[in-house]
Amino acid sequence: MSVNNTPRVDLAVIADLISPKARVLDVGCGDGALLDLLEHDKGVDGRGIEISQRGVNECVARGLSVIQGDADSDLIDYPDKGFDYVVLSQTLQATRNPKLVLDQMLRIGDRAIISFPNFGHWRVRLSLLLKGRMPVTKDLPYSWYDTPNIHFCTIRDFVHLCEEVGATMESARALDANGQKIGLSMPWWFWNFFGQQGVFLLRR
Amino acid sequence: MRHTQTRDRLCGSIAGFFVSGGMMESDMAPRARKARDEANDPSSLVVHFGADKPLRLDAGVALSPFQIAYQTYGTLNEARTNAILICHALTGDQHVANAHPVTGKPGWWDALVGPGRAIDTDRFFVICSNVIGSCLGSTGPASPNPATGKPYGLDLPVITIRDMVRAQAMLVDALGIDRLFSVIGGSMGGMQVLEWAASYPDRVMTAIPIAAGARHTAQNIAFHEVGRQAVMADPDWNGGRYFETGKRPGKGLSVARMAAHITYLSEPALHRKFGRNLQDRKQLTFGFDADFQIESYLRHQGITFVDRFDANAYLYLTRAMDYFDLAADHQGRLADAFAGTKTRFCVVSFTSDWLFPTAESRAVVRALNGAGASVSFVEIDTDRGHDAFLLDEPEFHGAITGFLDSAARNQGIDPS
């Protein structure tokens, strides 16, 4: 979550997917906003991993159980099914090996929750079509050469990845720029065009 | 067992000095004499454990009778749930937050422990005891051997980190405390924290190992061996029986301290503080006097250390650290040391610490994750090396405050 300036409109949607008192690991927990929300509102037993030391120190100072670590290399240390939910919010596109990370999440957690910016959103498509340059938007403000987002995908791409790693989709949502769920009964192509973010609840 | 508190004796401020060819009892600096008094008859609180309560040592023998000198700060609440045990480092002692009885200097963790500080003595009951094997009032090599009436010297069995912790558990029992709200310590103190969490998981609600590791590395053992060899190479060491000759191995212990002190700092910190600056002179003397400020500084560190510390205790405590390997005690799997633990951990390391580098803390964190433990881990960005844990590092203090606050809230601990 500390990767982009994306407003955390997905937090409430993610929190909705999590049952009270659950054991939750938030991978890329940033300043701990989601963990804080979950601990206060749902009484969860929350843990976090965050790559930036500054984020970690902020989390610990506000009383959260957070360690400095990297989604790509450190998930391997956690035991099988140690958590009810493993959350990866706005971080998938910044990992070196998204497939491996997803695989580890499904191993560690009973369920995995992933949210990510949809690179198939019409604004992104339009920007590339008209300007012919890699899109730089309000929410994804980096130029191609200095972006931490090295593995962008569209909602459709992600659905493919889920099939490849053998994940079952329990729930899928597309959110607009304000975090509102859009067209629940709409087909994938619609979400892939109008969804600013995708939020998925997976299990294996 | 009986509790005693002897009068609080203040020490003079006369600096210690060296006499070539050894230090005779007669020219022993007042501080050194004071240090020797503190070893047997400390100005701290003391618990004596008689023949009915021997300390079972890892060496396979029992230590009995023995005593533990300790200090406390704050008040134990009625439910006895607000006790924090602080574990001191190699050359530290129980005087965490009060003037030192030998040197007169402020407590070694004054910055962290006190009213309104990160470890808030308005809220918590803080205990710190001198470790077994040391020389500030708990039984160690300078204590009288009941069999001979003379100081133990090397007749004291080798002490381990686990022995220290076992003794602390007996102290905590004696104070009528079942569970500790937290066990906190840096360096050798951090090793004790990990040992506490592994040996008495049900008695430790939170654990904060700082600038420590679950084992002493080959490099760390190597530095300790240099220190021990320096002590033992001093002819005045006399096979550890220096109390009988009245001469003390001040030179050897001083060299040991100088070498060790380098490992507590970092190159950038040394450079910032001393660089290649000359000491009270404009040019090099083309001799072996202390031309550079860093030489003068280290010599000072060495000299002041021997006034307050027993050479044999230095041998025993460095050995205890060398022997520490928590994974080895659990068939090589560190995670097994913490299996099923309910303790909440906050592991702290410092970026420029090359004695206990972050990798050592990270190995502990990895094991704790493997054991499914609740763990926080902060690495504090500082150039002050291993000693950073003793210094005023706001981010470090902020992390400790936040961690303890939230744990106290969870446990419903209010100010006493």
Among B333, B377, B393, which would you mutate to test the A interface (most chain A Cβ atoms within 10 Å of its Cβ)?
A: B377
How many Å apart are CA A5 and CA B139, to the nearest integer?
59
Shortest CB distance from B377 goes to which of A62, A68, A78? A68
Which residue in chain A has the smallest CA separation from B379?
A53
A200's enclosing H/E stretch is strand A197-203
Q: From start to end of A1-77, where are the E strands? A: 23-27, 45-50, 65-68
Q: Which CATH superfamily is domain B3-411 in?
A: Alpha/Beta hydrolase fold, catalytic domain (3.40.50.1820)
CB contacts of B378 in chain A (<8 Å) are 53, 56-57, 60, 68
| Average pLDDT, integer, range B310-328 | 98
| Residue B2 scores a pLDDT above 50 | no
Percent share of chain B, pLDDT over 90: 87
Query: Do residue B401 and residue A68 have CB atoms under 8 angstroms apart?
Result: no
CA-based nearest distance A35→chain B, Å: 13
Give me the pLDDT at residue B17, please. Answer: 32
Tell me the chain B residues in contact with residue A79 when contact means C-beta distances shorter than 8 Å: 370, 372
Residue A105 lies in a domain: yes
**pLDDT tens per residue across span A153-187:** 999 999 999 999 999 999 999 998 888 888 778 88
Query: Of A53, A67, A77, which is closest to B376 when you measure between CB atoms?
Result: A67
> For residue B14, what pLDDT is reported?
24
Beta carbons of B375 and A47 less than 8 Å apart: yes
Which tens digits make up the pLDDT trace of B23-71? Answer: 454 556 778 788 888 888 899 999 999 999 999 999 999 999 999 999 9
**Which pLDDT does position B22 carry in this prediction?**
45
pLDDT for residue A24 is more than 70: yes
pLDDT at position B415:
53
CATH of the domain at A187: 3.40.50.150
Query: In this structure, what token pair is assigned to residue B50?
Result: 């008689």
* φ/ψ (deg, to 5) at B175: -85, 0
pLDDT greater at residue B212 or residue B411 = B212
Residue A173 to residue A195: CA distance in whole angstroms: 9
pLDDT of B11 = 30
Query: Given an 8 Å threshold on Cβ–Cβ distance, is B376 in contact with A53?
Result: no
Query: Does B10 score more than 60 pLDDT?
Result: no
- Residue B181 DSSP label: E
What is the per-residue DSSP string for B110-159? TTTEETTSSEETTT-EEEEEPPTTSSSSSS-TTSBPTTTSSB-GGGSPPP
b/e A46-77 (16+ beta carbons within 10 angstroms → b): bbbbbbebebbbbbbbbbbbbbbbebbebbeb
What pLDDT, in 10s, does the model give residues B202-253?
Answer: 999 999 999 999 999 999 999 999 999 999 999 999 999 999 998 999 999 9
Please state, for a pLDDT cut of 90, what percent of chain A lies above it: 63
Q: Report whether pLDDT(A1) > 50.
A: no
**Chain A residue closest in CA terms to B371:** A79
In the predicted model, what is the mean pLDDT of chain B?
91
Confidence band (pLDDT; 50, 70, 90) for B7?
A: very low
Q: Average pLDDT, whole number, for chain A?
A: 90
Facing residue for B376 by CB, picked from A45, A60, A77 = A60
- Minimum CA–CA partner of A83 in chain B: B372
Residue A65 lies in domain = 10-203
Locate the domains of chain B by residue range: 3-411
- The residues in B 164-223 lying below 8 A from A, measured between CB atoms, are none
Highest mean predicted confidence (pLDDT) among A68-77, A184-193, B335-344: B335-344
pLDDT the model gives residue B414: 67
Instruction: With CB atoms and an 8 Å threshold, state whether A65 touches B402.
Output: no
What is the pLDDT, as a whole number, of residue B310? 96
- B116-170 pLDDT per residue, tens: 999 999 999 999 999 999 999 999 999 999 999 999 999 999 999 999 999 999 9
State yes or no: pLDDT of A45 exceeds 90: yes
pLDDT tens-digit readout, A109-151: 999 999 999 999 998 899 899 999 888 877 778 998 999 899 9
Most confidently predicted of A48-57, B363-372, B404-413: B363-372
Radius of gyration (C-alpha) of chain A in whole angstroms: 16
Query: Which residues of chain B neighbour A68 with C-beta distances below 8 Å?
Result: 377-379
Q: Are A1 and A139 in contact (CB under 8 A)?
A: no
pLDDT band at residue B4 under the 50/70/90 scheme: very low
Active site residues per annotation of B: 187, 353, 386
pLDDT the model gives residue B5: 41
Q: Is A121 exposed, middle or buried (0-12, 13-18, 19+ CB in 10 A)?
A: buried
State the total domains in chain A.
1
Given CA atoms A121, A127, A132, A138 in this order, what sign does their dihedral have?
Answer: negative
Q: How far is A45 from chain B (nearest CA, A)?
A: 9
pLDDT for B396 beyond 60 = yes
Segments in B284-333 forming alpha helices (H): 293-308, 311-323
Q: Which residues of A touch B406 (CB under 8 A)?
A: 62-64
| Domain contains A164 | yes
Residue of A51, A53, A67 to mutate when probing chain B, most B C-beta within 10 A: A67
